[in-house]
Structure 1
């Protein structure tokens, strides 16, 4: 998705217009989206939800001039013969609208939003009351910005930093944040190491699928897609202030009943002065991935939440006898 700085005012107008219309849509998984849009009555858009939710082609007269001009000014109005398409979708979560990539999300720089976004937000909001006062939150791989934006009401006065290697994602996240009335700073980078200084709260929902097409929003590397989750977590553990935390939401492949990510974190985190709480949030997600060759030995993919906490006092080293 190509977005320029000039596209931000147009997209803010689009979000404001959709809110005034009472627009509402919950984005499902790509597999569900494909099944629904394959139905005969989904060949052409009949409503705003068809245009901005189901990403269906629409007749020009179906959409009023305000949103049409906003899409055109943002460079996100697509031609499909005599019909048009929107280059973005809009979804509502917790009463707030978020822009993200239109379906199908085949581009390498696509900006994902879906069921994982809901589980991620539920997880971080359930854990934030235990975090105490937070001065700075860093959202790694921020994507649409949903994590930091939805955490903001629970973190009064905190500085919110969004990090993503996808420049278009950062621009769209800033638009989503401004529409929500949340102040953020955006940094183009790969991990917490691209942020200066110590941090007292890191949140992340990394890509966790082995993706043969190398799409940045999906491809989590080796370990059946868990490599990026492990690398981001260990990098954050090194940068946390004493008493600081990382909240990781991700997916893991379960092989013969074992979770390789959990085992790797349990081995590595004590040497970094960190403790770990770890739990399954959903035992079976994205089951369609198991039909692909990289998952031939995987029995299920689970959504998990990990809480990494840096010790407030460094443990004493044993004195030599």
Structure 2
């Protein structure tokens, strides 16, 4: 079930505070590339990474910091917006800020254990690169409708908007916290968009020209909707998104999918299902394995007992014009 939330504003204090934070960091040439959680944990385990020494430590590495480390007016604004927590004698930011091309995007602080955590990391960079390469190859026309399903912090839609600035953008997510941050990130990047809360496309009418998807692809033991990739060893959500989006494509429309797929005895079940879907819908499929082996530690769990490897995939399903 989807709920249109285009007119529901971000809480004024939080939205204004985050915009002020982004502007503050941009003015100071802040730059932070977010690593995997495993790498983040390894870096924080070092003896010299227990307390923040600069802005990257505060808003990138999520380290606790002394009150006098931040500009006082900015700190006051962030505290008033509930974006700072107290840890003993130190403070800690509840958000991280990461570099994506020319933009700074706000997302959840490390570790992302909160029920409504908003994720950003290496997959976000790969997803944005995939979109940019596809749209440079074949740009979208002015006025085309673009939907970013499960937008998270908004990386995919923002990357697409920079390539095709005259498209109509809709960002969707099941997580209202994600939509709040996506709104801030889009506005900071100069991207106009509508925002729809929900786990499907029912809140969006008409044919779609470009649909973007970067769904979770690892099984979450807790089964949380926006962290769990579902059946097919975690490819179920990706397949469900494709099955919903592809029938809605206009002539020449494209569904761009970045995800992971578990390989069982050399077979890629997601690929096989997408081949069937494309054929049934009269579409063309381009499918590429871009990384043969990620999250190898998952193979030690019962859910992946029969899996040989987890690979990263990109897929483009395009409806033919005839």
The Cα of 1:293 is off from its aligned counterpart by 2.1
Q: Considering only aligned residues, what root-mean-square deviation do their CA atoms show, in Å? A: 1.4
- 1:229 maps to 238
2:86 corresponds to which residue?
A: 79
State the TM-score, normalizing by the size of structure 1: 0.93
Q: Are 1:251 and 2:260 an aligned pair?
A: yes
Does 1:33 pair with 2:40? Answer: yes
- Paired residues in the alignment total 311
User: Offset at 1:255?
Assistant: 1.2
SS at match of 1:194: coil
Q: Which runs of 5+ in 1 are unaligned?
A: 314-321
Contact 1:209 1:225 in 2 (8 A): yes
User: 1:147 aligned to 2:156?
Assistant: yes
Query: What is the aligned counterpart of 1:58 among 53, 65, 81?
Result: 65
- 1:67 paired residue number: 74
Q: Tell me how far 1:195 sits from its aligned partner.
A: 1.2
Shift, 1:257, TM fit:
1.2
- For structure 2, the 5+ residue unaligned runs are 1-9
In 2, are the aligned partners of 1:207 and 1:219 still within 8 Å (CA)? yes
1:11 aligns with 2:10: no
Residue 192 of structure 1: CA displacement?
2.5
The question of 1:93 aligning with 2:93 is answered no
1:286 aligns with 2:286: no
Once superposed, which parts of structure 1, at least 4 consecutive aligned residues long, lie more than 6 Å away? none
Kindly state the Cα deviation for residue 150 of structure 1 after the two structures are TM-superposed: 1.2
CA contact 1:5–1:171 (8 Å) conserved in 2: no
Contact 1:112 1:217 in 2 (8 A): no
The question of whether the paired residues in 2 share the 8 Å contact of 1:14 and 1:66 is answered with no
Report the TM-score when normalising by structure 2.
0.93
Q: Which digits, 9 at most, give the CA deviation of each residue in 1:147-191, with x for residues without a partner?
A: 111111211311111000111111101101111111111110112
| Aligned-partner Cα distance in 1 for 2:165–2:51 | 44
